[in-house]
Structure formats: C-alpha cells, structure tokens
C-alpha cells in the first residue's frame, strides 16, 4: 500500500515557568492508505499532542509532516491555508462527539456538507449506506441528544466518513463509552478502513482496543515505538 502521511524528527516541548518539558523527542512515523493505526501510551505521554501535530492542529518545534510527500507546514504556512488544507484532507472524531444536540442524526451527518454547499444525491446515498452499516438508520430523524453515547459516536463516525478526506484522526473515540460500545466502535473503524480505503489514526489508552489495529505504536519518553505484538495480532483480523 502507498504511504500517505509521514512525520520526520518531530520534536515538541512545553515551558512552565523555568521548566521545559520535552513531550516529543524526535518522532519518526509513516502511515499507509487503508489501515487502522492505534497510538497508545501512558497518560501525559504526548499521544494527543502527536495527533494534533500530525493533523495540522498544532505545530512542531522541529521536524516536518509530509502528506503525499508534500511538506504541509512549509506549504500551508498561514492559518487560513492550513485550515483549508485540513478541511479537504482530514476528518476528526473526538471523545465528546461534538454533535449539535437538537439536530437530527441525518442533519448532524450532513452538516459539514451543508456548510460547504456540497450536499449531492450521491452523498445522501452514501449517508444512507453509512447509517445502515452503523445500525442507526432507524434513528435518522431523531435528535442526537436522545441517543445513547455509543449511538452518538456512530453518528460522529458517519459524519467523518461522508467527507472525501482520506485520513480520519480519532482522539480517544471511546473514552466516554463502556466496554461493549468501545469494542463496537473500534470494530466499525476497522470496517470503514476496509470498505472505504480510509486511513484511521487513533489515540487510545485502552490496550484491548488496539487488538483491532493493523499497526500499534507506543509513545514512551518522547519516542514512538512500533509494537512487535501488532504483527501477530493483525493476522487475526484479516
């Protein structure tokens, strides 16, 4: 499979008074199209910081992110250009869903397309397909604040999937869910990579969820380590 995203020598530190805390200390990482990646590590290890830098939401102190071999921080050097680049190429799933509570399932899924004036018959057909796969089709006209947490996260996934973005970033997507719903969400993410050839890059603290991943990375002492176990685990999901 072709490489789609790459980070080279990513370094990031934060200053608190006279103290400098090194969070990322020369991270090198590659991502390919059509795979589910999990980044794990201890609380405070910098997992979310790395996700934000990979997705253009935060800048590294040193290093560069390449998208299809283009240096994104060099090419999209101002906020407006970077925002437009993210809108076209990256979709996001967050721990707290970020849905509009009084809008229906269908309205929440289509909202980014409405804002971009990009709602088409093809997109509505895709929305129906996604809702069917995620078992929320019968709730399409229901306000999302009446849904369970697991159902709301499925709406968030459908909203991310309906965009044309090749990469989906997920920051602790099951952090608010119980064990059963967490497994279902990661199973859906895995299915979406296969069905729609998306790259999903997820941060999680739950090691059981990583069993669904094609590739597992662990962030420790500012360095990203590829897990040996993933090469054994992923064969169980092929």
Other C-beta atoms closer than 10 Å to the C-beta of 138 total 10
HSE (side-chain half, CA atoms, 13 Å) at 157: 33
Maximum distance among all Cα pairs of the chain, rounded to whole angstroms: 57
More confident residue, 232 or 129: 129
Q: What is the pLDDT of residues 148-198, one digit of tens each?
A: 999 999 999 999 999 989 999 999 998 888 888 899 899 999 998 999 999
- Average pLDDT (1-27) is 92
Backbone φ/ψ region at 97: left (φ over 0), alpha (ψ -120 to 50), beta: left
Residue 116 lies in a domain: yes
For range 19-42, the mean pLDDT: 94
- Which of the pair, 2 or 32, is modelled with greater confidence? 32
Domains in the chain: how many in total? 1
pLDDT at residue 210 above 70?
A: yes
At residue 233's C-alpha, the angle toward residues 131 and 153, to 5°, is: 25
Residue 137's pLDDT band, with cuts at 50, 70 and 90, is: very high
Is 125 part of any domain? yes
**Does some domain include residue 16?**
no
* CATH number assigned to the domain comprising residue 45: 3.40.50.300
* Pairing of β 167-171 and β 199-203: parallel
Q: Is residue 19 part of a domain?
A: no
Compute CA distances 50 → 2, 13, 97, 231, whole Å: 22, 11, 20, 23
Burial class of 107 by CB neighbour count within 10 A (0 to 12, 13 to 18, 19+): middle
Q: Is residue 166 part of a domain?
A: yes
Model confidence at 231: pLDDT above 50: no
Which pLDDT score, from 0 to 100, does residue 44 have?
85
Residue 219 Cα distances to 46, 49, 138, 168, 193, angstroms:
7, 11, 40, 20, 23
Q: What is the mean pLDDT of residues 206-223?
A: 90
Domain that holds residue 233: 35-53+81-237
Residue 202 is assigned to a structural domain of this protein: yes
- Predicted TM-score (pTM) of the model is 0.90
- Please list the residues that pair with 66 across neighbouring strands: 6, 71
- 194 belongs to a structural domain: yes
Would you give the distance in Å from CA 41 to the centre of its chain? 16
Q: What angle do CA 185, 186, 188 make, to 5 degrees?
A: 65
d(CA 66, CA 53): 11
In this predicted structure, the answer to whether residue 237 has a pLDDT above a threshold of 60 is no
Calculate ∠ Cα 162-96-88, nearest 5°: 30
Domain assignment of residue 15, yes or no: no
pLDDT at 1: 58
């Amino acid at each position: 499979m072709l490489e789609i995203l790459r980070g080279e020598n990513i370094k990031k530190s934060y200053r608190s008074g006279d103290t400098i805390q090194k969070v990322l200390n020369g991270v090198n990482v590659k991502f390919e199209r059509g795979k589910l990646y999990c980044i794990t590590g201890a609380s405070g290890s910098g997992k979310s910081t790395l996700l934000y830098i990979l997705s253009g939401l935060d800048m590294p102190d040193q290093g560069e992110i390449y998208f299809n071999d283009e240096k994104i921080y060099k090419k999209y050097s101002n906020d407006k250009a970077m925002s437009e680049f993210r809108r076209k190429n990256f979709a996001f799933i967050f721990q707290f869903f970020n849905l509009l509570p009084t809008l229906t399932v269908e309205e929440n899924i289509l909202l980014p397309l409405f804002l971009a004036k990009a709602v088409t018959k093809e997109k509505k057909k895709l929305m129906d397909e996604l809702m069917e796969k995620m078992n929320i089709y019968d709730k399409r006209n229901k306000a999302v604040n009446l849904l369970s947490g697991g159902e709301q996260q499925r709406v968030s996934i459908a909203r991310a999937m309906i965009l044309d973005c090749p990469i989906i970033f997920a920051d602790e997507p099951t952090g608010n869910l119980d064990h059963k719903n967490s497994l279902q969400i990661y199973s859906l993410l895995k299915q979406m990579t296969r069905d729609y050839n998306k790259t999903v890059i997820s941060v999680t603290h739950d090691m059981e969820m990583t069993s669904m991943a094609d590739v597992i990375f662990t962030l420790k002492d500012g360095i990203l380590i590829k897990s040996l176990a993933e090469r054994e685990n992923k064969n169980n999901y092929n």
